[in-house]
Structure 1
Amino acid sequence: MRREVLELLKLGKLPTDKDGDTYWDEYFLILDSIEEPTTIEEAEALLQCFHDSEEEGAHGGAQTLMHIIESSGFRFKTRPDFRNAWHRYMWERQNR
């Protein structure tokens, strides 16, 4: 896995309104540095960066993350746990 992906995974979930500016800045600096396409392995690992709620979209960061994941050609092999709204949204996009 590339260094940028590992750094993002180390930071954890997308920032929320409860996080400080420093976390937001660091997170988006790394997120923006991930060049597409990602590998399937990277895409599967990055799925854990989503919060369960769509409300935690990190001001567009969730959409950016979703596009980075999809750049790999990643597709869910089985129906994901729909407690995660972003996983559900990706599943629906893949199955239209």
Structure 2
Amino acid sequence: MIRPEVADFTALGKLPSEDGEPDEALEEAVERAGALLDLIERPVTDEEAHALADCFGDDECFGVAWVLLHLIETAPHAREDQPEAARRWRDGLTSQYSRRRS
């Protein structure tokens, strides 16, 4: 069963991207996502982790995506059964970071 605070966060859909022109709407969306994540008590269930993983966007979303990843990692079976979307996001971002440092 997914708790209401997790459902509220997942209802936002994908996290907004850092790309593009910053504006008030983007700032509000990022703040809203961060505030909703803060309301989710840890640990999350495996079912919640899978639902949350679908919310990753294309980038870090000003750090919100890292908070989301760490939240997902609190699920009981996160190490053995990490949601594919979370794994892809983390691996993609890690390889981008490695290329930039080279």
- The answer to whether the Cα contact below 8 Å between 2:49 and 2:83 also exists between their aligned partners in 1 is no
> Which is worse superposed, 20-29 or 60-69?
20-29
Larger radius of gyration: 2
User: Aligned residue for 2:17?
Assistant: 16
Instruction: Give the letter for the 1:23 counterpart.
Output: A
Q: Contact between 1:14 and 1:50, CA under 8 Å: does it hold in 2? A: yes
Instruction: Tell me the TM-score normalized by structure 1.
Output: 0.71
Structure 1 residues 27 and 77, CA gap change in structure 2 (3 angstroms): closer
Written as runs of structure 1 = structure 2, the 5 A alignment for 1:42-57 is: 42-51=48-57, 53=58, 56-57=59-60
TM-score (normalised: structure 2): 0.68
Distance 1:24 1:79 in 2: 23
Report % sequence identity. Answer: 34
Q: Do 2:44 and 2:75's aligned partners in 1 also have CA atoms closer than 8 Å?
A: yes
Provide the C-alpha distance between the structure 2 equivalents of 1:27 and 1:5, rounded to a whole number of angstroms: 11
Partners of 1:15 and 1:27 within 8 A in 2? no
Residue of structure 1 in register with 2:64 after alignment: 61
Task: Deviation per CA, 1:36-81: give whole Å up to 9, x if none.
Answer: 1000000011110112x4xx10121111101100101324649947
Give the length in aligned residue pairs: 85
Gaps of 5+ in 1: 90-96
Gaps of 5+ in 2: 93-102
Shift, 1:12, TM fit: 0.8
